[in-house]
A and B are shown apart, each in its own frame.
Chain A
Amino acid sequence: MRDVAARRGAIMRNPAFWGVIAIAALLAINVIKDPSYLSIGYNGETGRLSGNLVDILRAAAPILMIAVGMCLVVATSGIDLSVGSIMVVAGAVSMELLSGMDGSTGNAALTLAVALGIATALGAVNGILVSVVGLQPFISTLVMMLAGRGIAKVITGGQNTTADNDSFAWLANGYVAGIPVVFLLAMAIVALVWLLVRRSALGLMLEAIGMDSRASRLAGVKRRNLQLTVYSVSGLLAGVAGVFATASVMTVDVSRTGYQLELDAILAVVIGGTSLAGGKFSIGGAVIGGLLIATLDKTVVFLGIPASATPAFKAIVIVVLCLLQSERVRSLFRHRRALRAQSQKEAVAA
């Protein structure tokens, strides 16, 4: 009996649990509005699954990428505000290259390599500013956030460049075994990153830096290299997100692609239970956080909430979630419940 209670307490203390609850609650609201919301269609001819859930998974892919990258950066007690801008740079590079080439698969691969290479390089610049120069992560990546969108505009000459390449578009719009390729790719990359940090000692080293950088330096942990790695990985993943986001429409919108997505990424990380102070991090939590953000975005549209009220709606959902995650708020509720139970008992006794 006590064992069950203890286990339940442990689950409730896990922030990601509340993320799952929030996703379920949002889906439930949508089902109330339209009972067929969750139904998944199967098109026998194309072999594709379709439906709102599939849409959510597809939309979640870019957010998952930047959330996972952000998660690693935050673990070292840093922050990467430039992911949205690196997304648009990767998108601009891809569209600009593809628009000048024929639509062969080889060109798509070449474009992908160049775009991701540039994104990684921008991430590495962040890393150098933070680890070698010693600037604060907030400032370094803020600079990159402003510069990145400028670079994207220079690349496209200020235009929203459009291109044609079926192989490239397949990355975002294709299906394998009925499931969107983009989601499968995202999950594969998440799994790869998870294996990289948890099956090597990288995770422990990142946490050590984030918790106590002086102590870990004396223990021989190479902070400089690790920070460089982490910001580069974050840049690379933002590049992937940028490819996903532009390939789906084969257009880069230099002022809107990736715009303010760094905030979504930070929220996803926090919802997943990783403290912005650094230290212990949870990639699984960041994934749940990313899925929640995607669900929230789709719900806002589905419920027909006016565009001007969207930020407020999002804010309310997130504040409620953070309150539920807070140990202090929960213990307040427990306390009140106990008081009420006691006063009832006393009333019965009297």
Chain B
Amino acid sequence: MTGAPPIVEMTGISISFPGVKALDAVDFRLFPGEVHTLMGENGAGKSTLIKALTGVYKIDEGQILVAGVERRFGGTADAQAAGIATVYQEVNLCANLSIGENVMLGHEVRGPFGINWKATHRAAAGVLATLGLEQLDLRRPLATLSLAIQQLVAISRAMVTEPKVLILDEPTSSLDANEVANLFTVIRKLRDQGVAILFVTHFLDQVYAISDRITVLRNGGFVGEYPTRELDRTTLISKMIGKDFATLRSLGSERQTHHYEPRGEPLLKAEDLGRKGSSEPTDLELHQGEVLGLAGLLGSGRTELARLLYGADRPDSGTVWLRGKKTDIHNPTAALSHRIAFSSENRRDEGIIRDLTVRENLVLAVQAKRGWFRPLSRKEQDALTRKYLAELNVRPADPERPIKFLSGGNQQKVLLGRWLATEPDLLILDEPTRGIDVGAKAEIQAAVAALAAKGVAVVFISSELEEVVRLSDRIIVMKDHRKLAELENGPHVTAETIVAVIADEGDDEEGDSE
């Protein structure tokens, strides 16, 4: 690798937006046949650097060499023509077109009578086959595929032009462990073919699993470039956040040693709670002050169960007792009035309301609970907002800014504030830390621990098993929309324990993994 010249070399890149220096003298090199990860907190400048490379943003200073020639691209299409393809976090495909059409969109094979669909589909099949997707039916609409396969189709689409550089911007944020493994197989294959891959992710495990080198950015500045094997996790994190990692780490271990013994009557008891097609009948008990983790792969039914508890979906079987009384929770309004709150995993569509301000987003649930004819005065709203912005360390702490201008982590904190403001006895958090940076993650975990200590019952759902293990008192392991096992958490329980529970079950049914 050291012998070959870099395919991309960016030196001293600076970009200013009005009032902010988004990138300040950043260097970046990418060699053929390597996976190079770009690390940094939200707002560190990762996306900006990618957009500088592909020409979406104009650079103010610095030099970009591609294959030894100085280049300034005019946009993604221009960069693609020069062999730099980008796959973004959100799948940018047309759900209602077929797989083949999606892969070849804009690169259709043309004959004398317009598009030659036969040849086009043949070309699409060829590209898909190189990524191990030859079993896909090209004529099926894209929407019938899982998000993970769609992600792979998006990569296939990028590979149509046979790029020398492939940029993957958080391709794994909505994939489960199995799907990530599949994606990595594909990435390794491409790397071995000599493609230079620039990878952006928030998941540390994945960084260490796939990348050869790491470049760390912080606040738009260049921190350093390191071979992965010479940089341990603790050092990497402290380089990303620029402060001591010990403070972050102490929090989790504290929680695990404290184990809560449930006493007396459960806060919530569910029997046979289920809904046809989404959740098998499940029994569940929840006590005050306890954190119940729901673990399982993506699509294992964690979210569906949580939605039933909140009434976001209507259960069609089972009984729920709340504080010992039989209760019917058939919609969110009812749940809120029973002091149950639920934060959806889908922050963008079911969480924030983009065009409302931070204050409006924060007071919405409290206000809805009171009814519109009993408005919170502006003073009360401001007090609530101030309180939670400070408590959860939201930045910028500007209540009148539309929430869409905040980073993902800070949006999530505002949402947490929204639910806390309703003073819930039971708080259901579905993937509250997905796609947010290490610092915000630690703060949200700390907030969850503090809530439990105050006597709130918390249901905590996360794809990161370590996180579930660290925070929970009890863990329910789910698979195929049903409860597989219930584990009392303790020093003997680790992420591997949970994986083993899921895997053991899988062996009986003849797993479909490779």
Please name all residues of chain A whose beta carbon is closer than 8 Å to the beta carbon of B352 when the two chains form the complex. 212, 215
Selected from A200, A204, A222, A280, the residue in CB contact (under 8 A) with B364 is A204
Please name all residues of chain A whose beta carbon is closer than 8 Å to the beta carbon of B369 when the two chains form the complex. 220
Selected from B342, B372, B418, the residue in CB contact (under 8 A) with A205 is B372
Does A279 have its Cβ within 8 Å of any Cβ on chain B?
yes
Shortest B465–chain A CB gap in Å is 26
Does A6 have its Cβ within 8 Å of any Cβ on chain B?
no
Please name all residues of chain B whose beta carbon is closer than 8 Å to the beta carbon of A219 when the two chains form the complex. 332, 364-365, 368, 418
Please name all residues of chain B whose beta carbon is closer than 8 Å to the beta carbon of A202 when the two chains form the complex. 372-373
Indicate if the CB atoms of A204 and B312 lie closer than 8 Å: no
Shortest A51–chain B CB gap in Å is 42
Indicate if the CB atoms of A222 and B351 lie closer than 8 Å: no
A220-B365 CB under 8 A given contacts A202-B372, A214-B349, A215-B349: yes
Indicate if the CB atoms of B350 and A218 lie closer than 8 Å: yes
Q: Mark A331-346, 1 if CB is under 8 A from B, else 0.
A: 0000000000000000
Tell me which residues from 136 to 156 in chain A have a Cβ below 8 Å from any Cβ of chain B. Answer: none
Shortest A278–chain B CB gap in Å is 10
Tell me which residues from 301 to 325 in chain A have a Cβ below 8 Å from any Cβ of chain B. Answer: none
Shortest B158–chain A CB gap in Å is 31
Indicate if the CB atoms of A215 and B355 lie closer than 8 Å: no
Please name all residues of chain A whose beta carbon is closer than 8 Å to the beta carbon of B360 when the two chains form the complex. 204, 208
Does B354 have its Cβ within 8 Å of any Cβ on chain A?
yes
Selected from B333, B356, B373, B376, the residue in CB contact (under 8 A) with A220 is B333
Indicate if the CB atoms of A204 and B367 lie closer than 8 Å: yes
A212 — nearest CB in chain B belongs to which residue?
Answer: B353
Selected from B336, B344, B353, B376, the residue in CB contact (under 8 A) with A216 is B353
A221-B354 CB under 8 A given contacts A200-B373, A201-B372, A214-B349: no
Please name all residues of chain B whose beta carbon is closer than 8 Å to the beta carbon of A211 when the two chains form the complex. 353-356
Tell me which residues from 200 to 234 in chain A have a Cβ below 8 Å from any Cβ of chain B. Answer: 200-202, 204-205, 207-208, 211-212, 214-222, 226
Q: Is the interface of A mostly helix, strand, loop or mixed?
A: helix
Please name all residues of chain B whose beta carbon is closer than 8 Å to the beta carbon of A220 when the two chains form the complex. 332-333, 335-336, 365, 368-369, 422
Does B62 have its Cβ within 8 Å of any Cβ on chain A?
no
Shortest B118–chain A CB gap in Å is 40
Does B242 have its Cβ within 8 Å of any Cβ on chain A?
no
Selected from B342, B368, B376, B422, the residue in CB contact (under 8 A) with A221 is B368
Please name all residues of chain B whose beta carbon is closer than 8 Å to the beta carbon of A217 when the two chains form the complex. 312, 332
Please name all residues of chain B whose beta carbon is closer than 8 Å to the beta carbon of A199 when the two chains form the complex. 375
Q: How far is the CA of A220 from the CA of B418 in the complex (A)?
A: 11
A201-B356 CB under 8 A given contacts A216-B364, A219-B418: no
A280 — nearest CB in chain B belongs to which residue?
Answer: B355
Indicate if the CB atoms of B332 and A218 lie closer than 8 Å: yes
Please name all residues of chain A whose beta carbon is closer than 8 Å to the beta carbon of B336 when the two chains form the complex. 220
A221-B364 CB under 8 A given contacts A201-B372, A201-B375: yes
B365 — nearest CB in chain A belongs to which residue?
Answer: A219
Max chain B C-beta neighbours (<10 A), residue from A202, A215, A221? A215
Q: How far is the CA of A214 from the CA of B345 in the complex (A)?
A: 13
The range of chain A's interface size is 20 to 34
Q: How far is the CA of A208 from the CA of B310 in the complex (A)?
A: 20
Shortest A132–chain B CB gap in Å is 14
Please name all residues of chain A whose beta carbon is closer than 8 Å to the beta carbon of B372 when the two chains form the complex. 200-202, 204-205, 226
Indicate if the CB atoms of A214 and B350 lie closer than 8 Å: yes
Indicate if the CB atoms of B368 and A279 lie closer than 8 Å: no
Indicate if the CB atoms of B350 and A215 lie closer than 8 Å: yes
Indicate if the CB atoms of A207 and B356 lie closer than 8 Å: yes
Q: How far is the CA of A207 from the CA of B360 in the complex (A)?
A: 10
Max chain A C-beta neighbours (<10 A), residue from B349, B355, B368? B368
Shortest A125–chain B CB gap in Å is 22
Q: How far is the CA of A205 from the CA of B372 in the complex (A)?
A: 7
Q: How far is the CA of A202 from the CA of B376 in the complex (A)?
A: 11
Please name all residues of chain A whose beta carbon is closer than 8 Å to the beta carbon of B342 when the two chains form the complex. 218
Shortest B403–chain A CB gap in Å is 11
Please name all residues of chain B whose beta carbon is closer than 8 Å to the beta carbon of A200 when the two chains form the complex. 372-375
Selected from A205, A212, A215, the residue in CB contact (under 8 A) with B367 is A205
Shortest A336–chain B CB gap in Å is 21
Please name all residues of chain A whose beta carbon is closer than 8 Å to the beta carbon of B349 when the two chains form the complex. 212, 214-215
Q: Report, nearest first, the 9 A-B pairs whose CB atoms are least far apart.
A: A220-B368, A220-B336, A201-B375, A201-B372, A219-B365, A202-B372, A221-B368, A212-B353, A219-B364
Given A219-B418, A220-B333: 9 more A-B contacts, CB < 8 Å: A201-B367, A201-B370, A201-B373, A202-B372, A216-B353, A219-B364, A220-B368, A221-B364, A279-B355
Contacts from B to A (Cβ < 8 Å) = 310, 312, 332-333, 335-336, 342, 344, 349-356, 360, 364-365, 367-376, 418, 422
User: Can you list 23 A-B contacts with CB-CB less than 8 angstroms, sorted by A residue number?
Assistant: A199-B375, A200-B373, A201-B370, A201-B375, A201-B376, A204-B364, A204-B367, A207-B356, A208-B353, A208-B360, A212-B352, A214-B349, A215-B344, A215-B352, A216-B368, A218-B332, A218-B344, A219-B364, A219-B365, A220-B333, A220-B369, A220-B422, A280-B355
